[in-house]
Each structure stands twice: as structure tokens, then as C-alpha cells.
Amino acid sequence: SLGLASVPVSVNLGLALLVTVLLSAVLLVAWPRPSGRLLAGGTLVALALAGAVLLRLRWLAPPRVCVLDVGQGDAILVQDGGSAILVDAGPGDAVGAALARNGVLHLDAVLVTHLHDDHYGGLSTLGPVLSGGEVLFGQGVSGSLTDEVKRELSALAPGSVSEVSHGDVLRVGRFSLRVVSPLGSSDGSQNADSVQLALSFEDGPRTLSGLLTGDGEKDELAAELGRGDVGDVDFLKVGHHGSAVSLGKAEARALSPEVSIASAGANNRYGHPRQECVDVLAKAWSAFLCTMDVGDVTVEPGESGPRVTTARAAA
């Protein structure tokens, strides 16, 4: 769960073992005996390179939104420079590995959209990167936390639990995250209680707009659109893992996202993402991606639309 503690690679195991054996043989035959000056110089170079990598990862990260592949759950990283927030923490401990493979060393806060385990189950694994940070819930939700969750929060972020409400704005570097739903207090137990965030970024010609929906569905989207809280966006984090009721034709047309991203686990028992959802987005001319097919999906601000990269190519 610690950034850089392990570096995932994809190699042929047989070839990797052969190379290891050959290199070991070469070292046994001709073990180098560098001079003290060469050794000191090499050490300084290695330390400088390591420092440069750490500087970039911790304080100079490019602006990005990463929909992390955590299986059947949600975890979305919003990062710019030295600022980072995680929206939801997925199920189990998958989020720790997801943050590590994306080089995340620090989080300022974690926002839990609602109290379903596939959105907050990974909270306890965030200790190494959330030191000194906050845990945020929707208005009224902190009063509905179970004793188990309270114990986790006490260990994770003692005294740093807060609530957000409709209209509140969170700043993450040059990103702005505005709470557009729900309107009032809730206990966080229902999909409709999900904290939804309208995201925006502007830096000269580079812009990005999006909507992070948690498990919100088409009724909540229709209400947000009706009151003008959200409109045309560059990208949509599809609600409720791409369920059949995540959005309808009218909502898809009004949002008109260039790319839509669902977070779902392979072979999940719900059949997410549902074909009905995929078809609705296709008719709105939105490219559709799902984490179970392409892994982590990263969206960056661009000068002529969002720049999207995926951890792997679709099968």
C-alpha cells in the first residue's frame, strides 16, 4: 500500500529468470571493485534521481482524474501538483495497490459518497497516504456511522471527520469540485444519497469538466440538470457502475459527455455495466470505457477536449 514499495511489471517469467541467472553469473565471475570516488559519485547520482522522482510524484504531479480499477466498487483520484483527494475508497484493500501503481504518496482528503461497502470498504488501508488528511461525508451522514466505521476513522484520521453539503466547493490544486447533490441531510444509506460532484479545471487553453456521480441514478441526474447544477460535460463517471437505471436518453443528451467511464468488477453478479446503459451513451455519441476492461482510466485536461489514457487496451 506504500507508494514505490513495489513496482508492478508485466514480463515473461521464464525470460526474467534466465536474465537473472545470467546476470548473477556475470557478477560472480567479474565482481566490480569500484574506487571510493566512483562509488560516492554513483551514490550521489542515484540519490539525485530518486529525489527527482519523489519530487515529481509528491509535489509536481500533472492535473489528472483517475478512475481506479478496484473491482466492483468506486475509487476516483483527483490530483494536481501537491494536492490530491480520493472520492470513495472501493471495497477491500484494492485501493492501496491502485494508488501505489499510480505513484500516489499523499492524500489531502477522502470523500465517501455514501455508506455502501463498495465505496468505503477500503478506508482502513489508506493510513500510509492519508496522514494528517481529512475524511469527508455528505451532510448528516457522520451521525449514521456504525461503531466499526467509527473505530476505523479514529485510527485513520482522528478528529478530522467533516461533512459537505449542497453548494460546497472543494479545491484540489486548480480543480474545483462542487457538491451538486443531495440537496439536504441524509443518512447515506441509499444510492440516491450519494454525494455528486461537478468537476471543473481551467488553466489557459487547457480545460476539463466532468461529473462524479457515486451511485446516483437518472432521477438524481434529472433533478441536477433541471435546477441548473450541471450541464454539458467533457466526461462522466457513470453512476451505479453502469446499471440500467444510471441514466436515460434525456440525461445522456443533456450531459453530452465525450467520454463516459464506469467502474465495475469482472464477472460481477449484477451484470454491470448493463447494455442498456452502454446503448444510451452510444446514442449520445459518448465513448464508453469500463475499468474491468481497460484497468485504471486517466482523464487529463486538454486544449481540444479531454485526454484519456487507459492502463491496458480493451480486449
Q: pLDDT tens across 232-271, in order?
A: 999 999 999 999 999 999 999 999 999 999 999 999 999 9
Beta bridge partners of 77: 66, 86
Arithmetic mean of pLDDT over the chain: 94
User: What is the model's pLDDT at position 4?
Assistant: 67
φ and ψ of 310, to 5 deg: -125, 155
Segment 150-164 mean pLDDT? 89
Residue 10: is its pLDDT beyond 90?
Answer: no
Q: What is the pLDDT of residue 111?
A: 98
Amino acid at 8: P
Among candidates 122, 39, 110, which has minimal Cα distance to 79?
A: 110
What is the model's pTM?
0.91
Q: Look at residue 5 in the predicted model and tell me its pLDDT.
A: 73
Can you read off the three cell numbers belonging to residue 254? 443533456
Does the structure show a pLDDT above 80 at 32?
no
What is the set of domains in the chain, with CATH numbers?
13-54 (no CATH), 61-310 (3.60.15.10)
**Does residue 260 contact residue 236 with C-beta atoms inside 8 Å?**
yes
Q: Residue 8 above 80 pLDDT?
A: no
pLDDT bucket at 3, cuts 50 / 70 / 90:
low
Which residue has cell 469538466?
A: 209
First to last CA, the chain: 28
Per-residue pLDDT, 1: 56
**pLDDT band of 27, cuts 50, 70, 90:** confident
Q: 3-state SS of 203-226?
A: ECCEEEEEEECCCCCHHHHHHHHH
13 or 84, greater pLDDT: 84
- Per-residue pLDDT at 280: 98
- % of the chain beyond a pLDDT of 70: 98
Q: What is the DSSP letter of 196?
A: E
Confidence of residue 288 (pLDDT cuts 50, 70, 90): very high
